[in-house]
Amino acid sequence: MKRPGALLELYRRLSPTIAMLVPFLAKYSVKLQKATDGIASQRKQIAADSQSLHNCIWFHAASVGEYEQARPVIAELKRTESRPVVVTHFSSSGYEFAQNNPAGDKHYYLPLDTPTNMKQLVELLNPSVLVFAKYDCWPNLILEAEAAAVPVLLISGTLPETAARLNKISLPMMRDIFNRFSEIGVCSQNDADRFTKIMGVTAKVTVTGDTRAEQVLKRFNDSADGPTVEILKNFGKQTLVLGSSWQPAYDLWFPVFPKLLSNNPELKIIIVPHEPTAEQIDYLVQHLDIKLNIPVTTLSEFKNDGIGKQITVVDSIGLLAEIYHCATIAYVGGGFTTGVHSTLEPAANKIPVLFGPKIENAEEAGEMVDSGGGFILDKGNIFEIVHDLLNDDQKRNQSGKAAYSVLDSRTGSVSKSVTMIKSYLA
């Protein structure tokens, strides 16, 4: 194993102390408490399973997004490889999602990143290769895999211009970490250039593409005949969908809803909150009904009188793929806070995609803007852009095709990622 640099060695020495603080911090976070409880409950199970998992292909997918990127790659490997596949997760949401949508032979919480924990886990699993999805790369795990001569790979890697990994403080340590990878598979040439030219990584960097594209297309196509599509397909001749929406989206859209609906009589609106809690649903219904005087229903109540309403609020999770089938135009949330959510999902329906200005985390959103398939909204332009798209069929269709072309250009990444992984299997 190459000797760690000063910052990586400091992290390695401090990590056991940091890990000791986690149980205290977990008292203030339901998700972190679930993860720490899961780690504790699985220690004996991992040891018991370990003999049957030797020579496995080990994926680490921190949360739901990373797991979704890994799933199609895992599926293809399981189709062509006989060795077991183990998947570890950091977040409780990722682990719970995987329990309902398993891809690997075994799914576990990843223990806290200390040298002792990771050395023990690498020895127990004795993997043939360790594959990270996107960017959640734990330093002690990488060091212990390197010490055990286990090839370490990255698939669907991203490195946005604004990534914290590129700031002056963290960059030397991140360079040290990524130089221990056998190969780094990234989404785009821009990502590759930032790894090599800005971060200064000397490990092999390959453009393998973004595996989300094929997963998005598969999920969209599989959902075409879903029950939610059947419920909402006749809701409106023109339908605006607000997907993965947060409060900043409502601050943007609510002032313009009355004018949009008045000027576009055939328009209906579907709001899909990112977190459809009872409180959130109640707030939306009350605000739209009482303050804006817009007829509104929830999806669970749609069968009663939904057709006669102008807005439907979705009060359950996991339905976006079906709902996008019913959309004429889609807005994707997150672009006013932490960063825009998946713009590829609505693009699968060949419709224009709208979002806020914070798109640095999603290169595909920028490509959609450049191609005319995506539109950045603000309070000054929102009515003009939406009204124009609703009333200009040619422009709307061309924009939808442009958005789809960004998704289509990313297909083929699963095959490239699988080929890369197989080249390191002993």
| CATH number for the domain harbouring residue 73 | 3.40.50.11720
Would residue 301 count as lying in a domain?
A: yes
| CATH number for the domain harbouring residue 378 | 3.40.50.2000
Q: Are residues 235 and 296 in the same domain?
A: yes
Residue 408 is predicted with a pLDDT of 93
Least confident among 106-115, 207-216, 390-399: 207-216
* pLDDT tens profile 42-99: 999 999 999 999 999 999 998 888 998 999 999 999 999 999 999 999 988 889 999 9
Would residue 140 count as lying in a domain?
A: yes
DSSP line for 159-185: --TT-GGGSTTTHHHHHHHHTT-SEEE
Residue 25 is predicted with a pLDDT of 85
* Strand order across the beta sheet in which 374-376 lies: 296-298, 311-313, 267-273, 238-245, 329-332, 353-355, 374-376
Q: Are residues 276 and 355 in the same domain?
A: yes
Residue 421 is predicted with a pLDDT of 98
Q: Are residues 274 and 128 in the same domain?
A: no
Q: Are residues 87 and 183 in the same domain?
A: yes
Residue 35 is predicted with a pLDDT of 85
Asked if residue 6 has pLDDT above 90, the reply is yes
Q: Are residues 160 and 257 in the same domain?
A: no
CA 132 to CA 134: how far, in whole Å? 7
Q: Tokens for 75?
A: 């599926």
Q: Region 333-354: what's the mean pLDDT?
A: 95
Asked if residue 424 has pLDDT above 90, the reply is yes
Q: Are residues 144 and 231 in the same domain?
A: no
Q: Are residues 197 and 226 in the same domain?
A: no
Would residue 1 count as lying in a domain?
A: no
Q: Are 138 and 15 in contact (CB under 8 A)?
A: no
Residue 323 is predicted with a pLDDT of 97
Please choose, from the candidates 255, 266, 261, 301, the residue with its C-alpha nearest in 3D space to the C-alpha of residue 281.
Answer: 301
CA 329 to CA 240: how far, in whole Å? 5
Residue 261 is predicted with a pLDDT of 97
Query: 187 lies in which domain range?
Result: 6-210+411-422
Q: Are residues 388 and 415 in the same domain?
A: no
Would residue 148 count as lying in a domain?
A: yes
Asked if residue 426 has pLDDT above 80, the reply is no
Residue 65 is predicted with a pLDDT of 84
Residue 263 is predicted with a pLDDT of 97
Q: Tokens for 218?
A: 């598969």
* pLDDT tens profile 187-215: 989 899 999 999 999 999 999 999 989 88
Domain count, the chain: 2
Q: Are residues 30 and 90 in the same domain?
A: yes
* pLDDT tens profile 224-271: 999 999 999 889 899 999 999 999 999 999 999 999 999 999 999 999
Q: Are residues 164 and 64 in the same domain?
A: yes
Alpha-carbon distances of 67 from 219, 223, 237, 291, 339, rounded to whole Å: 14, 19, 36, 40, 19
Q: Are 394 and 370 in contact (CB under 8 A)?
A: no
Would residue 133 count as lying in a domain?
A: yes
* pLDDT tens profile 120-140: 999 999 999 999 998 889 999
Would residue 226 count as lying in a domain?
A: yes
* pLDDT tens profile 274-322: 989 999 999 999 999 999 999 999 999 998 888 999 999 999 988 999 9
Residue 142 is predicted with a pLDDT of 97
Q: Tokens for 35?
A: 């993860």
Would residue 293 count as lying in a domain?
A: yes
> What's this model's pTM, rounded to 2 decimal places?
0.82
Burial class (CB in 10 A: 0-12, 13-18, 19+), 33: middle
CA 136 to CA 165: how far, in whole Å? 11
**Share of residues in the chain with pLDDT > 90 (%):** 82
Would residue 339 count as lying in a domain?
A: yes
Q: Are residues 369 and 271 in the same domain?
A: yes
Residue 160 is predicted with a pLDDT of 87
Q: Are residues 74 and 163 in the same domain?
A: yes
